[in-house]
């Protein structure tokens, strides 16, 4: 079976006074459908940069990236946007909820970009509020929630469309351990239901929820043990 993700010779750099600053170096990586992969490495080693490439948020890389059989490096902006909409859920390092939308409106947003009837959208939002036990918060704005609750909403928003590929950038970074455990268990459950997950984490305990761990150092992917 074709792997879900295949990177070949992927590099990312930014112009820097007089030269370039290298962020990702010659990355070769294969991830099969259904895997739960953790990415670790020191601050600044390129973890978020790698996730941004995988999540089609950054098209400025060199090399080849195949996702679900599509050659991402050959797609135009519109095609990338559609693939992202249909295949990817992203949980950001900082929650990225929209401040002037309520919890329910934030959750409805990814659905609104799709061709889904409003009744069905309401039902999906209701289901996910239930599943994440945040029904009581649905009419509140993000600033009225604790950090942990905001992150729960961010996770709910990332999974409401049931993406094939779920990318999570330190999903529990800012949370107390009980909320953190809850989010990790939710990710594990989504993985059992079929989602492929790539998570960035600084915590060995969280990495343990995945089935293998990648190490980044100065933009280089270290050989797996
Ligand atoms: N737009 C940009 N322009 C220039 N350099 C950038 C840009 N984005 C990222 N970088 C550089 O890329 C390197 C890797 O950053 P990245 O955010 O991927 O690190 P990280 O591993 O996620 O770190 P952290 O654990 O602190 O989140 C850093 O040195 C950063 O300065
Ligand atoms: Mg980061």
Transcribe 87-127 into DSSP letters. Answer: HEEEE-SS----TTS-HHHHHHHHHHTS---HHHHHHHHHH
Rounded Cα distance between 167 and 32, Å, is 14
**Per-residue pLDDT, 105:** 97
pTM: 0.92
Q: Considering only CA atoms, which of 142, 157, 151 is closest in space to residue 98?
A: 142
Instruction: Report the chain's mean pLDDT, rounded to a whole number.
Output: 93
Domain edges within the chain:
5-221
pLDDT at 224 over 70: no
If you average pLDDT over residues 66-86, what whole number do you get?
96
**Per-residue pLDDT, 94:** 78
DSSP class of residue 137 equals: G
**Rounded (5°) CA angle 157-161-165:** 90
- Residue of the nearest CA to atom 6 in ligand 1? 14
- Give the fold, CATH level 3, of 5-221: Rossmann fold (3.40.50)
Rounded Cα distance between 39 and 53, Å, is 14
Tokens of 40: 């670790």
User: If you measure from the C-alpha of residue 20 to the centroid of ligand 1, how many angstroms do you get, rounded to a whole number?
Assistant: 13
Q: Euclidean distance between the first and final Cα of the chain, in Å?
A: 24
Among 46-50, 72-76, 185-189, where is mean pLDDT lowest? 185-189
> Is there an atom of ligand 1 within 6 Å of 43 CB?
yes
- Residue of the nearest CA to atom 31 in ligand 1? 44
pLDDT at 225 over 60: no
pLDDT at 126 over 70: yes
The band of 73, judged by pLDDT with boundaries at 50, 70 and 90, is very high
Q: Which atom of ligand 1 is nearest to the CA of 41?
A: 21
Q: Which atom of ligand 1 is nearest to the CA of 202?
A: 25
**Helix/strand/coil (H/E/C) assignment for every residue in 69-93:** CEEHHHCCHHHHHHHHHHHEEEECC
Contact 212, 38 (CB under 8 A): yes
Task: Read off the pLDDT of residues 164-196 as tens digits, 9 standing for 90 and up.
Answer: 999 999 988 767 777 788 889 999 999 999 999
User: If you measure from the C-alpha of residue 22 to the centroid of ligand 2, how many angstroms do you get, rounded to a whole number?
Assistant: 15
């Amino acid at each position: 079976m074709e792997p879900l993700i295949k990177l070949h010779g992927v590099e990312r750099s930014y112009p820097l006074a007089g030269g370039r600053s290298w962020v990702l170096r010659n990355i070769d990586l294969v991830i099969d459908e259904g895997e739960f992969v953790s990415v670790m490495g020191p601050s600044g080693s390129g973890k978020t940069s790698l996730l941004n490439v995988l999540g089609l948020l950054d098209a400025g890389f060199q090399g080849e990236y195949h996702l679900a059989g599509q050659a991402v490096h050959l797609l135009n902006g519109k095609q990338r946007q559609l693939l992202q909409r249909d295949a990817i859920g992203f949980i950001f390092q900082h929650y990225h909820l929209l401040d002037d939308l309520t919890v329910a409106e934030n959750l409805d947003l990814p659905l609104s970009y799709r061709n889904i009837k409003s009744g069905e959208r309401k039902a999906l939002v209701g289901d996910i509020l239930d599943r994440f036990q945040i029904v009581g918060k649905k009419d509140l704005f993000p600033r009225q929630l604790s950090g942990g609750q905001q992150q729960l909403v961010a996770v709910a928003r990332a999974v409401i469309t049931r993406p094939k590929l779920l990318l999570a950038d330190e999903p529990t970074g800012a949370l107390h351990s009980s909320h953190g455990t809850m989010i990790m268990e939710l990710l594990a459950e989504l993985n059992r239901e079929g989602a492929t997950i790539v998570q960035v984490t600084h915590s060995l305990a969280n990495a343990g929820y995945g089935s293998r761990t990648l190490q980044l150092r100065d933009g280089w992917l270290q050989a797996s043990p």
